[in-house]
């Protein structure tokens, strides 16, 4: 069965709006902030170069993931 493109587009807008709603929740904002702070603390407390690099890589991956969520949520704003 093939889904019409309009349905796929409507589905993407709906999903983007769901992500917007999720990111607007205070609890989610607090969780994202706490996660970032925890990783930064991990980096600051690292005793070896390898531990620092691992924490830096985790932070970069986390920031990329958050940016992807924010970008996805903005698609819903542009489609409204």
pTM: 0.77
Greater confidence (2 vs 26) lies with: 26
Greater confidence (14 vs 3) lies with: 14
Going by pLDDT thresholds of 50, 70 and 90, the confidence category of residue 11 is: confident
- Interatomic CA distance for residues 70 and 77, integer angstroms: 11
Greater confidence (75 vs 28) lies with: 28
Token couple for 73:
């949520």
Going by pLDDT thresholds of 50, 70 and 90, the confidence category of residue 76 is: low
């Amino acid at each position: 069965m093939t889904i019409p493109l309009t349905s796929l587009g409507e589905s993407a807008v709906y999903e983007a709006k769901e992500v917007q709603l999720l990111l607007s929740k205070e609890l989610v904002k607090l969780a994202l902030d706490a996660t970032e702070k925890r990783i930064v603390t991990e980096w600051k407390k690292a005793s070896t170069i390898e531990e620092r690099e691992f924490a830096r890589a985790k932070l970069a991956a986390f920031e990329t993931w958050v940016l992807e969520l924010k970008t996805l949520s903005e698609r819903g704003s542009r489609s409204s």
